[in-house]
Amino acid sequence: MKKLILAAGALSMLLTACGKKKESTEPSTEEVTKIHQTALTIDPHIDLREDFDAAGNDAGAFTEDQFDLVKLDSGKLDVATIALFADPLRRTPENIVLARKQVDSKLAAIRNFVKKHPDKLEFVRSTTDIEKLAADGKHGILLSFLNALSLGKDTSLIDHYYKEGVRVFGFAHAGNNDWTDSSRPSEGLGDKPNEAGGLTAIGKAAVPILNRKGVIIDVSQLTTDALNQTLELSKAPVIASHSAVRSIVDNSRNLSDAELKAIAAKGGVVHIVAFAAYLKDTAALKEDYKKQIFEPLGLQVGKDNPKEKLDSAGYRKYKDAYRTFSRNEWKYASLDDYLNAVDYAVKLIGIDHVGFSADFNHGGGVKGYAHVGEGPNITAALLKRGYSEADIQKLWGGNFLRVFKEVEKAAQTTSLASNTAVGQSEIAKNR
């Protein structure tokens, strides 16, 4: 069975110098298969398309979607972290309701998918679940949450989605909300850069709640101020589930060297995202994005909010054009471009603090890693570059699992401290 070798792999990691590459060689198919099979493979950020359907992504159905059962099997992905993501919208009561419906619709869709395939799929909520599932040979579905817009100002909803299985929580996407500033404020939604100075009071209150629950905090798409405030407030390591390197592509969604180092110093992991626009600064991608999606509808990128500017028919055209473009965005960068960013991060912050992610179904992917099924290509390319088996295990999932365990441990410690404090208070009252 695949991951019964995990303990041996962990020992191998201890015996390998972190981040030190061996001399590169051309790996055999057998070597790639063995190492990829042995590694615990986790993707911490995959989205669901609005048209995702459990029947359409069924066993035997190789679809245009970047995530389906056939691709999970061929890519040997152990854990797919599915984001309950809400589109950025203007902050109004009506839009908060719409965003919540979008989140709950995705939750229902992925639940239906898992329910249809109990022999292949299972939800995971803890590190114990992940390790057991890997040994059983099933694919785990871990739930994450992205964009607190859908929660309004209600932090009690953290508990609601925790009970639904959410174990990774990201505060923001492209647009500020009532919890935090986004690294990509939207002029079309009326945002101002750094309008809250980082996390709002609600966002700051949410950090200890997430720590107590044992939920991994995801700092992708936060401003520098919000990221640093999260690191200061959190009692546990954090991850960036889908970020790339600003020194390679100067985009506010990408992380600066200082941010990369700060996450690592907290014990966290930066998952480098295989998203062409953030790996390679190409004029062709920007021009095609503008011409294929926005210009035909008379819109300006970054300034116009399509939902507000267009009638319902126009907005459907916008969504269709965006979906078509995002399904092909992987063509603008290569696997080498992706692994160059991984190399950069490993050299800067160390092998223990870097991982992979794809952001599939939201524009993610590159040539050679265009869908879940092409995961073994990463393993082969890493071997070619001289990465050791132990390092590959860390990058694919070992580092994520370590952070998750530390988050769980911090939650237990916090809970114990809280119960002790309550007990001491009760004793003092009765004296």
Tell me the C-alpha distance between 46 and 297, whole Å.
Answer: 29
The sign of the CA dihedral 386, 71, 402, 129 is: negative
pLDDT of 7 reads 39
Stated pTM of the model: 0.90
* CB-based contact 333:286 (threshold 8 Å): no
Q: How high is the pLDDT of residue 10?
A: 40
Contact by Cβ (8 Å): 123, 141 = yes
Domain boundaries, the chain: 25-282+333-429, 283-328
Taking the C-alpha atoms of residue 176 and residue 192, their distance in angstroms, rounded to an integer, is 8
Q: For 5-19, 87-101, 114-128, 398-412, which range has the lowest pLDDT when averaged over its residues?
A: 5-19
Whether 152 shows a pLDDT value over 70: the answer reads yes
Read off the pLDDT band of 65 (50, 70, 90): confident
Confidence (pLDDT) at 84: 97
Average pLDDT of the chain is 90
Q: Are 343 and 385 within 8 A, CB to CB? A: yes
Q: 320 versus 416: which is more confidently predicted?
A: 320
- pLDDT more than 70, % of the chain: 88
Positive/negative CA dihedral, 30, 33, 36, 38: negative
pLDDT number for residue 105: 95
Please list, in sequence order, all residues whose beta carbon lies within 8 angstroms of the beta carbon of residue 269, skipping any fewer than 6 positions away: 237, 239, 240, 263, 352, 353, 354, 355, 399, 400, 402, 403
What DSSP string runs through 141-178? EEEEEE-GGGGTT-TTHHHHHHHTTEEEEE--BSB--S
Could you report the per-residue pLDDT of 197-241, keeping only the tens digit for each?
A: 999 999 999 999 999 999 999 999 999 999 999 999 999 999 999
pLDDT for residue 18 is more than 80: no
Q: Which residues of 93-128 are buried (b: 16+ CB within 10 A; e: fewer)?
A: eebbebbbebbeebbebbbebbeebeeebbbbbebe
CATH class of 25-282+333-429: alpha beta
CB atoms within 10 A of CB 374: 21
Instruction: Name the band, by pLDDT with cuts 50, 70 and 90, for residue 6.
Output: very low
Residue 8 has pLDDT above 50, yes or no: no
- DSSP strand pairing (42-46 vs 121-123): unpaired
User: 121: which strand partners?
Assistant: 139
Which tokens hold the place of 370?
């265009």
How far CA 79 is from CA of 126, 138, 368, 372, 402, in Å, comes to: 12, 9, 20, 11, 15
